[in-house]
Amino acid sequence: MTAGPRAAAALACDEVPGLLRGWISPSPAFMRRTSHAVLAGGGVWLLDPVDEPGMVEWALGLGPPAGVVQLLDRHGRDGAAIAARLGVPHLVTPAAPPPGAPFRVIPVVSVPRWREVALLFPDSATLAVGDALGTAPYFRAPGEPVGPHPMLRLTRPPRVLRGLAPAHLLCGHGPGLHGEGVAAAVEAAVTGARRGIPRWAWGLVARRGGPA
C-alpha cells in the first residue's frame, strides 16, 4: 500500500497505473471499508465510495468520471452524494449494465435485505465485489488470502463467481488482490467456503482481543 494525499486520513490501496485506485476508510478500523475507482471505456467508475477527504479527487486522477455503482443494497455509503456532485449516474445494484458500459453485471445475492451484484470489467479482467468476498480479517480463515462473507460461508457460498478468471479482485472490505494467483484464490474461497468453517471460526477466536 502507498500513502494517499497528505490531507486524507484514508489509506490508499490497489493502485495499478492507468487502471485502478482504491482507499480504505480509517473508521471503523475493523471493517476495512474500501472504495474503488476503475478506469474503463474512457471514464472512471467509482464503486461503493466513501467520501474521505481528498480521495475522490485523487481517484479521478485516472480520468473523467463516468458513474458511481453501488454493489450492495446496504452499501449506500456516500455514493449518491458523490454522483450528484460529479453529475454522473448513480447505479444501485443494477440488474444490467447501462448501454455502452464497459462491464458485466453478475447477480450474486438476491434475498430480503441482501441484494448484491458484482462487476466484471473484461478488458482488464477486474472483478469487483461488495460483501460476497473480502480480505478483511473477519472474512478469512488462517492462511486464506480472501474469504466469503461469514453469512455466505455458512449458508450460500457465492458460486456464481467461479470461472471468471480475474487478474484483479476488488473487495468492499479490505485491499484487493492482483496478478498471478488471483483466479485460483477466488476459486478456493468459493469452493472451500464450508470446508473452511472450522479454521475460520478458530481464527476468530484466536484474534479475539488482538488487532482487527
Note the pLDDT of residue 3: 45
Q: Please, which residues have CB within 8 angstroms of residue 100's CB and are 6 or more apart in sequence?
A: 41
Could you tell me if residue 5 is inside a domain?
A: no
Whose CA is closest to 48, among 3, 2, 92? Answer: 92
For residue 38, the enclosing domain spans 11-207
Residue 75 confidence (pLDDT) above 50: yes
pLDDT in tens, 22-65: 999 999 998 999 999 999 999 999 999 999 999 999 999 999 99
* Overall number of domains in the chain: 1
Could you tell me if residue 108 is inside a domain?
A: yes
Could you tell me if residue 2 is inside a domain?
A: no
Whose CA is closest to 171, among 144, 140, 132, 121? Answer: 132
Note the pLDDT of residue 5: 46
Segment holding 131, helix H or strand E: none
CB 138 within 8 A of CB 204: yes
Q: How confident is the model at residue 21 (pLDDT cuts 50, 70, 90)?
A: very high
What CATH number is attached to the domain comprising 146? 3.60.15.10
Note the pLDDT of residue 207: 66
Question: How would you list the strands of the sheet with 104-111, edge to edge?
Answer: 104-111, 114-121, 126-128, 168-170, 177-178
In terms of C-beta density within 10 A (0-12 exposed, 13-18 middle, 19 or more buried), how is residue 49 classed? buried
pLDDT in tens, 158-201: 999 999 999 999 999 999 999 999 999 999 999 987 776 767 67
CB 151 within 8 A of CB 158: no
Residue 212 confidence (pLDDT) above 70: no
Residue 74 confidence (pLDDT) above 70: yes
Residue 84 confidence (pLDDT) above 80: yes
Residue 6 confidence (pLDDT) above 50: no
Mean pLDDT across the chain, nearest whole number? 91
Could you tell me if residue 6 is inside a domain?
A: no
pLDDT in tens, 120-166: 999 999 999 999 999 999 899 888 999 999 889 888 899 999 999 99
Reduced to 3 states, what is the DSSP secondary structure of residue 147? Answer: strand
Rounded distance between C-alpha atoms, residue 34 and residue 153, angstroms: 21
Pairing of strands 147-148, 168-170: unpaired
CB 151 within 8 A of CB 191: no
Q: How confident is the model at residue 210 (pLDDT cuts 50, 70, 90)?
A: very low
Rounded distance between C-alpha atoms, residue 57 and residue 55, angstroms: 5
Task: DSSP for 48-84, please give it.
Answer: S----TTHHHHHGGGS-EEEEEE-BTT--TTHHHHHH
